[in-house]
Chains A and B, each alone.
Chain A
Amino acid sequence: MASLLNTLKFIMAYFRVVSKYTLFLISTSWIIYLTDIKGDLYYFLSANVFFVNLVLIYFLTKGDKYLEKNRFYLLFNISDVNRFFSKSILFGIPFLMHFSLFLLVVTGIDYLLYLTLFSILIVIFSGRLILFNNVSKLISGIYIPAFTGLLLSAYFVSGVLTMIILSGLVVLSLVFIISRSLQLNKND
């Protein structure tokens, strides 16, 4: 089984070769959110930059589809989980940059709502990881709506403390799921 580190190196080298300009654009265009333009133009530009980046990141994650189809990953035992982690690191960091700056700086939402949305993102991420472990679609199907619902209701009816506790719980569950995934990966 190819290790996570080697998979990450491969994914980085691959995307650097096939889409270095797009990656550069995604990694640098968040500066727009911090510019000193006033008025509607700022919101127009920022919203466009955010959504264009979302679309670019989405299509970039599919950029190695042909390696799946030509069985390269199968041939060298590169697991789905390792690829998912590697792509999450490569694209997740610029995505979080855009996500956080857009919400906090451009729209100016309060930290509590940001924390809620951020926690929901983590829930979706860990839900996807559960699916890789072949546990069952049912568990993932319950896990994501249950946690998301809990987070949203906590935001609407409870205070800061409940939200922080819940978000902490989400992060803990993520850590647990990741360590479990890595363990299973190692055993393979």
Chain B
Amino acid sequence: MDQIIQFNNVGKKYGNVVALNGMSFSVSQYEAVGLVGNNGCGKTSTINIMCNLIKYNNGEVIVFNKKVTPLNVSYKNKLGILISPPVFVDEFTPSQYLRFVCKFQHVDPKEISKRIGDVTTLFNIVSVDKIKIARLSAGEKMKVALAAAIIHNPEVLVFDEPFIHLDIHTIDLLTGLINTIRNNKTLFITSHNLDLIINVCSRFLIMEKGRIIDNILKEEGVTVDMIKTRIKEKITAGRSENRKPDWLS
């Protein structure tokens, strides 16, 4: 199968802080890959580099067979990107915002109204035309961000923490949606919620200190609990037990 995303020995530093340290992995077409790891291990940096939102310092990132450089941005229309924290134009209403997203993502102008109607109904986004995004709740904002990520029917879904702030109903809806479309889409997702990520992904990359330390495949005979235990073992290995402060009674 074609490799859609390739990270070859990628390094990223923020000043003296190393975010990615020789990160290497690849994602094939129609694969659903979950990236898991502790806070600060470099998951968001990986997504941001993949989507050309930040520059990397060394190594090579190839997406759709083209090296990711500041000038190579054409591939981004093929991605459905949800970054963390999600990006909005706070002063717009959801429908205004989604309309411009459609225009920027080259959706057929005749289709725009239908698509906005479809995604807002799908995610049950209320007050589409009346309330500015700035005044929506965190969960509602997340729904708008998800709607914006899929509205142009992208080939690859790149989601950074898509489940946070969502209510149970929307989480079920999102996992159901991903499971429905995953045969025709490539999925790259990060999350701290192991149950949900195991539900939607077929392969798991475990990250620690800016690099991949394990690669787990969901295959026959491997149960969800086994995957979960293995992931937990890996990401908690070498961690000392956190002691409760004496004053906290």
A contacts, CB < 8 Å to B: 1-2, 6, 9-10, 13-14, 17-18, 67, 70-72, 74-78, 188
Interface residues of B in 44-103 (CB under 8 A from A): 51-53, 71, 73-74, 76-77, 81, 83, 87-89, 91-92, 96, 100-101, 103
Residue in B74, B87, B92, B96 whose beta carbon sits within 8 Å of that of A75 in the complex = B87
Query: With an 8 A cutoff between CB atoms, is B105 at the interface?
Result: yes
Query: With an 8 A cutoff between CB atoms, is B104 at the interface?
Result: yes
A76, B101: Cβ atoms under 8 Å?
A: yes
A17, B91: Cβ atoms under 8 Å?
A: yes
Residue in A14, A17, A75, A77 whose beta carbon sits within 8 Å of that of B83 in the complex = A75
Interface residues of B in 110-166 (CB under 8 A from A): none
The A-B contact count (CB < 8 A) is 50
On chain A, the residues within 8 Å of B104 by CB distance are: 2, 6, 10, 76-78
Residue in B88, B92, B103 whose beta carbon sits within 8 Å of that of A17 in the complex = B92
On chain B, the residues within 8 Å of A72 by CB distance are: 87-89
Q: How far is the CB of B121 from chain A (nearest CB, A)?
A: 24
Residue of B nearest to A70 (CB): B87
On chain B, the residues within 8 Å of A10 by CB distance are: 100, 103-104
Assembled-state Cα–Cα distance A18/B90 (Å): 10
On chain B, the residues within 8 Å of A13 by CB distance are: 92, 96, 100
On chain B, the residues within 8 Å of A70 by CB distance are: 87-88
B contacts, CB < 8 Å to A: 51-53, 71, 73-74, 76-77, 81, 83, 87-89, 91-92, 96, 100-101, 103-105
Extra contacts, 8 of them, besides A1-B73, A17-B92, A188-B71 (Cβ < 8 A), are A9-B103, A10-B103, A13-B92, A67-B89, A74-B52, A74-B53, A75-B83, A76-B101
Assembled-state Cα–Cα distance A69/B51 (Å): 16
Assembled-state Cα–Cα distance A75/B71 (Å): 13
Q: How far is the CB of A187 from chain B (nearest CB, A)?
A: 9
Residue in B71, B92, B96, B105 whose beta carbon sits within 8 Å of that of A76 in the complex = B105
On chain B, the residues within 8 Å of A17 by CB distance are: 91-92, 96
Knowing A2-B104, A13-B96 are in contact, say whether A77-B91 is a contact too (CB < 8 A): no
Q: How far is the CB of B52 from chain A (nearest CB, A)?
A: 7
A6, B103: Cβ atoms under 8 Å?
A: yes
On chain B, the residues within 8 Å of A188 by CB distance are: 71, 73-74
Residue of B nearest to A78 (CB): B104
Assembled-state Cα–Cα distance A103/B67 (Å): 52
Assembled-state Cα–Cα distance A13/B97 (Å): 10
Assembled-state Cα–Cα distance A65/B12 (Å): 25
On chain B, the residues within 8 Å of A74 by CB distance are: 52-53
Knowing A75-B81, A188-B71 are in contact, say whether A14-B89 is a contact too (CB < 8 A): yes
Assembled-state Cα–Cα distance A67/B105 (Å): 17
Assembled-state Cα–Cα distance A10/B104 (Å): 9
B103, A71: Cβ atoms under 8 Å?
A: no
Assembled-state Cα–Cα distance A17/B52 (Å): 29
Q: How far is the CB of A48 from chain B (nearest CB, A)?
A: 30
On chain B, the residues within 8 Å of A71 by CB distance are: 53, 83, 87
Question: Max chain A CB contacts within 10 Å: which of B83, B92, B100?
Answer: B100
27 A-B contacts (beta carbon < 8 Å): A2-B103, A2-B104, A6-B104, A9-B100, A9-B103, A10-B100, A10-B103, A13-B100, A17-B91, A17-B92, A18-B91, A67-B89, A70-B87, A70-B88, A71-B53, A71-B87, A72-B89, A75-B53, A75-B81, A75-B83, A76-B101, A76-B105, A77-B73, A77-B77, A77-B104, A78-B104, A188-B71
